[in-house]
Structure 1
Amino acid sequence: MLKNSFSFRVRYVETDQMGVVYHGNYAQYLELGRVEWLRSLGTTYRSMEENGIILPVISLQIKYKKSALYDDLITVETEIKKPPLVKIEFDYKIYNESRELLAEANTVLAFMDKNTNRPVKCPDHILEKLTF
């Protein structure tokens, strides 16, 4: 699977006094998208960490298009467009329930050995589930 969608409601705590989502919260929304993308492949961050692999973010870009508001139903679409090697690159689109585009984003993460903090190749069990 190369693309996954995940929806949730904006909580009050994620907004400012005007009911608008604070811009810093979008990074957490992207993380939710990545976690659910991995889960859709049959793996989790937890299982990767238990197997000695961590995935730190090394690049993050967000283009804000429209504000998300308190209680909006948000959908994060997470996609990869090329096979991961030592790095994995995700593209995202975040929509409200009217399918208005709220943000576009991109993150790059590196597969790292948890004990040595050295880069490692993408695990085979992830590569095996991807078709390009």
Structure 2
Amino acid sequence: MYISKKEIEVRYAETDQMGIVYHANYLIWMELGRTALIQEMGFSYADMEKDGIISPVIDIAVSYKKSLHYGETAIVYTWVEAYNGFKTTYGYEIKTPDNETALTGTSSHICVKKENFKPIQFRKYYPEWHKAYEEAKK
């Protein structure tokens, strides 16, 4: 299983009045982790979108374990949790600088044509990407 690692410095704007990261910002960090994973594997969401294909989130689940604070560094680990040629589920673990788990989660995605949101079979449109996901999944 391939796991991507992305470090993110917690910015002041991402925190609440207590200096704790606002919960929705973890979802943004999950997206950053997912994008980093895809880039490390040699692919690009931007290139896929140029082809008229987008990848909406169809399900997301998170479990908050420990708060991160302004000035700390979040470490986002991302991997392909499950993949069947149509739907991809990514796994995430966000760690504190002390290597404690701040969040665990998953997000599931399908690919659709941008003009009509009609689902596509990912394995047929992107066979090289499909092969990489088959090799990288948990």
Residues of 2 paired with 1:84 and 1:45: CA distance?
Answer: 19
Contact 2:85-2:121 within 8 A present in 1 as well: yes
Unmatched segments (≥5 aa) in structure 1: none
Aligned partner of 2:132: which letter?
K
Q: Hey, what's the Cα distance between the residues in 2 that align with 1:57 and 1:74?
A: 22
Instruction: Give the drift of 1:125.
Output: 2.3
Q: 1:57-84: CA deviations, max 9, x gaps? A: 0111110000010011111101113334
Partner of 1:111: 111
Partner of 2:49: 49
Report which stretch shifted further, 40-49 or 77-86.
77-86
What's the counterpart of residue 77 of structure 2?
77
After TM superposition, the structure 1 = structure 2 runs for residues 1-132 of structure 1, keeping only pairs within 5 Å, are 2-122=2-122, 123-130=126-133, 131=135
Deviates more, 1:30-39 or 1:114-123: 114-123
Q: 1:129, 1:71 → 2: CA distance?
A: 36
TM-score, length basis structure 2: 0.90
1:103-123 per-residue CA deviation (whole Å, 9 max, x = no partner) reads 001100111112221111122
Asked if the contact 1:4/1:79 (under 8 Å) is kept, the reply is yes
SS at match of 2:39: helix
Count, aligned residues: 132
> TM-score, structure 1 length as denominator?
0.93
Distance in 2, matches of 1:113 and 1:91, equals 24
The separation in 1 between residues aligned to 2:82 and 2:8, in whole angstroms, is: 27
The answer as to whether partners of 2:74 and 2:96 remain within 8 angstroms in 1 is yes
Q: Is the 8 A contact 1:2 1:81 kept in 2?
A: no
Report runs of 4+ in structure 1 exceeding 6 Å deviation. Answer: none
Between stretches 119-128 and 97-106, larger displacement belongs to 119-128
Q: Distance in 1 between matches of 2:92 and 2:104?
A: 6
Amino acid at match of 2:23: H
Identity of aligned residues (%): 32
Contact 2:82–2:90, Cα closer than 8 Å, also in 1: no
1:71 & 1:94 partners in 2: Cα distance? Answer: 16
Higher helix share: 2
Deviations 1:70-99 (A, max 9, x none): 011111101113334221101100001110
